[in-house]
Amino acid sequence: MRIMYIVLLVACFSYAQPTAMKNSIHTFTVEDINGKPFSLESLKGKKIMIVNTASKCGLTPQYKKLEALYQEYKDQNFVIVGFPANNFMWQEPGSNEDIKAFCEKNYGLSFPMMAKISVKGKSQHPLYAFLTKKDKNGVKDSSVKWNFQKYLIDENGHLEAVISPRTQPDDPVVLDWIKS
């Protein structure tokens, strides 16, 4: 009888969790670049590109293409969310205020930028632990190779693809994914 009770309890708990919320980034709340909470649940129904950024990297000019991509597709349920990180050769040394000023002055960024985080290592942010570990995202293991690595997330908050840092934001693979 006790085993039957445990099986029933486990079955009820499993049923109580909505399938759409399993393995979804929509369960995360992060801090935006202004220090305010930003619920990723607010992005339900949108395709999302999550990208770790840096201001002093050879790939920093990708900001220009990221902003152009965002402007072109933001009204078509697409959003880019930037996460500044100082994990690669100290290429993002500034404060959130410094990063925000740099991005506005040099690239006119209007897509959501979050507070600086760690995207790998012992201090890895929980969102990036989700993005890089199959046991959390349900799709694949990956490692963040460098600044400007892109994670493509579907409308339900599920990981669909990991795009190399060197792949430009307007690459046909990315554009086809946005349009599909």
Q: At which residue do the structure tokens 């933001």 appear?
A: 74
pLDDT at 169: 98
Secondary structure of residue 33 in the 3-state scheme: coil
Rounded to whole angstroms, what are the CA distances from 46 to 19, 33, 96, 158?
18, 21, 26, 11
Query: Comparing C-alpha atoms, which of 127, 137, 140, 126 is closest to residue 51?
Result: 127
Cα–Cα distance measured from residue 32 to residue 30, given in angstroms and rounded to the nearest whole number: 6
pLDDT for the residue numbered 112: 98
**Residue 57 annotated in active site:** yes
- Please state the CATH superfamily assignment of the domain spanning residues 19-179 in this structure: Glutaredoxin (3.40.30.10)
Which pLDDT does position 22 carry in this prediction?
58
Q: Where are the domains of the chain?
A: 19-179
CB 126 within 8 A of CB 109: no
What is d(CA 164, CA 116) in angstroms, rounded to the nearest whole number? 20
Nearest 5°: the CA angle 149, 38, 126 is 55
Of 57, 79, 129, 161, the catalytic one is 57
Cα distance between residue 166 and residue 139, in whole Å? 22
Low-confidence ranges of the chain (pLDDT < 50): 3-21
- Name every residue whose Cβ is closer than 8 Å to that of residue 23 and which is 6 or more positions away in sequence: 136, 137, 138, 139, 158, 159
pLDDT at 1: 52
| 159-163: strand order across its sheet | 78-84, 47-53, 150-153, 159-163
Model confidence over 126-161: pLDDT tens digits?
999 999 999 999 999 999 999 999 999 999 999 999
Q: Residue 47: exposed, middle, or buried by beta-carbon count in 10 A (0-12, 13-18, 19+)?
A: buried
Q: Which two tokens stand for residue 63?
A: 């900001």
